[in-house]
Structure 1
Amino acid sequence: MQLPRLVDAALDRLVVPGYSRLGYTVRRTGWSTLPSGCLSGRTILVTGAGGGLGAATVRGLVALGARVEMVVRNPERGEETAAAVRADHPGAAVDVAVCDVSSLADVRRYAAEVRDREAAVHGLVHNAGVMPPERTETAEGHETALATHVLGPFLLTRELRPVLRAGASPIAPSRVVFVSSGGMYTAALHIDDPEFRQGTYSGGAAYARTKRMQVVLAELLADDLAGDGTVVHSMHPGWADTPGVASSMPGFHRVTGPLLRTEAQGADTVVWLQAAAEPGHSTGVFWHDRAPRPTHYLPRGGETPQARAALWTLCVDATGAGA
């Protein structure tokens, strides 16, 4: 039975019930099972796939028949995860590719390799994430969270545009999914200081800021790629028990441990966004637990057109990816 809308919305507004495993457990009773093999013949790239939500996403996608390329920074860890996936899913088509999403040069190299060897790509999941304990910059001079969550994904999406376009059809669009965070609700779009050079740096604040940017960027890319037959969505996984949460937020992990979702529960909506019919008929939507969610809880909390345009200009100028 489908959860009543008002009850569903209330779970989210109360945060703990909606983001914890409780919200997932209650909501899933109204979900239909994705058809076996519904992703057969589709090639999907997943960044940050060595562990946590990324690895869980890979498992969910191959279980539905997709061929998945795991995009990782650490090849040894990637191969270990891929071997575990193959052991659980004999015959699964899983490849490992190395790319540091925070490095614009490495993103260009990797994207060129994909364009050279793949006739078409049907899905892209931007899952790679960091929460730096202190402010650091990439070799190209960008704050690490911004580079990993915003600039790298923007460039990768734009560089893969030809193969995503080739993978789209009138009845089956290519799909790009940003794995954001519910933490983005705590942050405004800080386009005046995107590199976080002002004030006291906090890894948590940088994470929330750039996760807010991801949600807005997904909307902008949705408009940009609409003519290609590619849909773009963002989502948040709720509170999942991942190694990243345990290491970056030990206090939060200790207090909320019994309430945290499994990695598979956190990744469920990512897999659903790549496989289900409903998100293929829309674009630029923010999702949680297989349902569209507001990007702001306050009616007047939205970004101005000027701020949205400034984010696009920032991404274009920083990456050189073209207007």
Structure 2
Amino acid sequence: MSFYPTRLDAAADRAVAPGYSRIGFRVRSRAWPPLPPHALAGRSAVVTGANSGVGKAIAIGLARLGASVTLAVRSTSRGDAAAAEIAAAVPGAVLGVERCDVADLADVRRFATEFLGKTDRVDVLVHNAGVMPTARAESAQGHELCLSTHVLGPLLLTELLAPAMARTSAARVILMSSGGMYTQGLHPDDLEYRTAGYRGATAYARSKRMQVVLTPVMAEHLAGAGVSVHSMHPGWVDTPGVATSLPRFRALTGPLLRSPAEGADTAIWLAAANDLPSGRFWHDRKLRPEHYLRRTRESPTDRDRLWQYCTTAIADY
């Protein structure tokens, strides 16, 4: 099986709408073999932001493949409601709901400590929780909210759960990025978005670029523990977050938007498929370029500065 797209497939992504819409998914998925029905039997998964949208769809997909799934969410009441929906869709699913505010590094530490007191293994860790603030906001530790939610919190949670992942075979970490990251490069002199006029959509895209830049760094860092790291984007998906944060975009593209289940597919596939190259960026079950624009390319020095900044920021937590 080739992980690389055909020329026609790659061209659909370059044109954006054909590749990112439900049209691209439905055309491409015709060629995909089904995953074995018990591909994740006996395995455990943690999905952040799993109370709605793509996160809930990922949790459903993992449960259908036999995984026990922990929904790590900010609101346990919403998490409980999501778990009830998942249980109804997947009879016999083994589910847990735990509170975890990924943006709050202290809460990430608390969650990890309590969670590891209940389990000694994690096979799949999906970083799906996301935010798109309308105005610049900061986490409890004073970090810009997109940076803390999409980068710092996931890095810390991965580090804290790494020993439990190292006890399993072929554990993997999956970061839910966004096609919007193609519009942004790194800004190593302003990672906290302090010096320019703030735009939530831009801050979101910048932090999603950071996830992709750090994926191979994380992969190298965890390779000795036998843990692979993957980032991916789901295409254009109709979710509550899109409706709230990007109403104009949703109004313009509504008929073309993917369902949450379609957006979740590649994350579920990354969790279950075998022999995948670590440290790479995926969309619709294929490897995709990390850049389309020259201006977004980062230097090794910029990448190292990002890694150093992030590891320093989480070091005390």
| TM-score of the alignment, normalized to the shorter chain, above 0.5 | yes
1:314 aligned partner = 309
Runs of 4+ displaced beyond 2 Å: 298-302
Whether 1:271 aligns to 2:272 is no
**Equivalent residue letter for 1:225:** L
Match of 1:62 in 2: 63
SS of equivalent to 1:160: helix
Which structure exhibits the higher relative contact order, with contacts defined as CA atoms closer than 8 Å and separated by 6 or more residues? 2
Q: Structure 1 residues 232, 154: CA separation in 2 closer, same or farther (over 3 Å shift)?
A: same
- 8 Å contact kept, 1:102–1:138: yes
CA contact (8 A) 2:185 2:295 kept: no
Secondary structure of 1:318's partner?
helix
After superposition, residues 238-253 of structure 1 pair within 5 angstroms as 238-253=235-250
**Structure 1 residue 278: deviation in Å?**
3.9
Give the alignment's TM-score, normalised by structure 1: 0.95
Distance 1:62 1:4 in 2: 28
Residue deviations 1:32-90 (CA, integer Å, cap 9, x gap): 00001110011000000010000000010001100000000011110001001101111
Structure 1 residue 115: deviation in Å? 2.0
Q: Deviations over 1:164-216 (max 9, x none)?
A: 1012x2xxx10000000000000001121011001100000000000000111
Corresponding letter in the other structure for 1:21: R
Unaligned runs of 5+ in 2: none
**Aligned match for 1:195, one of 175, 192, 195:** 192
Q: Is the 8 A contact 1:158 1:321 kept in 2?
A: no
Deviations 1:249-285 (A, max 9, x none): 0000011000000000000000000001142xx1001
Match of 1:260 among 245, 257, 262: 257
In the alignment, structure 1 segments of 5+ residues that lack a partner are none
List aligned pairs for 1:298-313, cutoff 5 A: 298=293, 301-313=296-308
Measured on the aligned residues, the alpha-carbon RMSD in Å equals 1.6
Q: C-alpha distance in 1, partners of 2:14/2:275?
A: 24
Match of 1:53 in 2: 54
Shift of 1:321: 6.3
Contact kept in structure 2, 1:57 and 1:271, CA below 8 Å? yes
The match for 1:93 is: 94
| TM-score of the two chains, using structure 2 as the length reference | 0.97
Per-residue deviation, 1:245: 0.4
The 2-side partners of 1:50 and 1:267 are apart by: 14
The counterpart of 2:175, out of the listed 154, 174, 178, is: 178
Distance 2:115 2:298 in 1: 34
SS at the partner of 1:117?
Answer: coil
Question: For residue 290 of structure 2, what is the aligned residue in structure 1?
Answer: 295
In structure 2, which of residues 198, 206, 213 is the aligned counterpart of residue 209 of structure 1?
206
